[in-house]
């Protein structure tokens, strides 16, 4: 979900920029290195970005003023490449939407990148790796990854709004609970639907390109450490 243009106080908008942009910069370095060493991954990276763009552009009315609800589309990128690279892809998408689609905004870009491109994908990545190590299949692992990445996004957005606009009675906590309750009506069904979509797609991708789900960082490390032949 996006916080809309001009809704956050300037101090909070600046703070989220300060937090998010170093992670995006780190992700950009990782992405450049990855594509240089494994150029065949360009298609999958582009596909991951396309999912983020298409699903996050499905803007739905939100019951909370100053925001909108939508799927996040970060499940595939979170599972394959982790939160740093997902932050880069999400920043590109969010910037495009803010400039050309009036969806989100420049002032709220840092906050939206943090919630949708960093916090949600970080949880999704941990869940995916944990479930795969526990021998869960691709489909259920991707379902949990996509659904939780979506849900964590709305939880963090609720936190961001509650910090900026604490309730007169009960302060941050009361405001946070209120935002969570209002967002849940729309976002929980969206998260379930998004999880199903990604589970079906991941099962298909596993059947046609199983190498897509290998850990790129492990493969790169092994390649570098392999002894040279005489």
Q: Give a yes or no: residue 127 inside a domain.
A: yes
146 confidence band (pLDDT: 50, 70, 90): very high
Q: Kindly provide the residue ranges of all beta strands, DSSP E only, lying in the chain, ordered along the sequence.
A: 2-3, 60-61, 67-69
Q: How confident is the model at residue 1 (pLDDT cuts 50, 70, 90)?
A: low
CATH code, domain carrying 28:
1.10.1760.20
pLDDT at 218: 38
Least confident of 1-5, 93-97, 131-135: 1-5
Counted residue by residue, the chain has a size of 230
- Asked whether residue 228 is domain-assigned, the answer is no
Alpha-carbon separation of residue 229 from 221, 226 (angstroms): 17, 9
d(CA 23, CA 86) in angstroms, rounded, equals 10
Q: How confident is the model at residue 114 (pLDDT cuts 50, 70, 90)?
A: very high
Give me the chain's average pLDDT, please.
85
pLDDT of residue 131: 95
Asked whether residue 224 is domain-assigned, the answer is no
Q: Are 124 and 116 in contact (CB under 8 A)?
A: no
Q: Say which residue, 26 or 40, is predicted with more confidence.
A: 26
Give me the domain span that covers residue 34: 2-216
Assess if residue 222 is contained within a domain: no
Residue 14 lies in a domain: yes
| Pair of tokens at residue 31 | 């992405």
Is the pTM value of this prediction over 0.75?
yes
User: CA 172, CA 50: separation in Å to the nearest integer?
Assistant: 36
Percent of the chain predicted with pLDDT > 90: 57
Q: Is residue 43 part of a domain?
A: yes
Residue written as tokens 């490449």?
A: 81
Residue 57, pLDDT score: 79
Please determine, for residue 139, whether its predicted confidence score (pLDDT) is greater than 90. Answer: yes
Which of 19-28, 167-176, 194-203, 206-215 has maximum average pLDDT? 19-28
Number of domains in the chain: 1
Summarize the confidence of residues 122-128 as an average pLDDT.
Answer: 96
229 within some domain: no
Question: Is 50 among the domain residues?
Answer: yes
């Amino acid at each position: 979900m996006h916080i809309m243009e001009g809704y956050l106080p300037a101090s909070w908008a600046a703070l989220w920029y300060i937090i998010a942009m170093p992670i995006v910069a780190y992700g950009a370095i990782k992405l450049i290195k990855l594509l240089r060493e494994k150029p065949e991954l360009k298609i999958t990276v582009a596909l991951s970005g396309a999912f983020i763009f298409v699903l996050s552009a499905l803007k739905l009315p939100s019951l909370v003023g100053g925001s909108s609800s939508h799927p996040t589309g970060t499940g595939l990128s979170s599972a394959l490449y982790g939160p740093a690279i997902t932050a880069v892809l999400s920043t590109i998408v969010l910037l495009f939407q803010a400039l050309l689609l009036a969806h989100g905004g420049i002032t709220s870009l840092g906050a939206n990148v943090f919630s949708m491109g960093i916090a949600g994908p970080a949880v999704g990545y941990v869940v995916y790796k944990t479930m795969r190590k526990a021998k869960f299949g691709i489909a259920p692992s991707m379902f949990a990854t996509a659904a939780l990445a979506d849900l964590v996004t709305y939880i963090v957005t609720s936190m961001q709004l509650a910090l900026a606009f604490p309730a007169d009675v009960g302060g941050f906590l009361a405001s946070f609970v209120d935002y969570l309750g209002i967002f849940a009506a729309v976002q929980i069904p969206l998260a379930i639907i998004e999880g199903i979509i990604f589970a079906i797609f991941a099962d298909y991708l596993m059947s046609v390109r199983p190498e897509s789900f290998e850990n790129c960082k492990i493969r790169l490390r092994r390649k570098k450490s392999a002894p040279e032949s005489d």
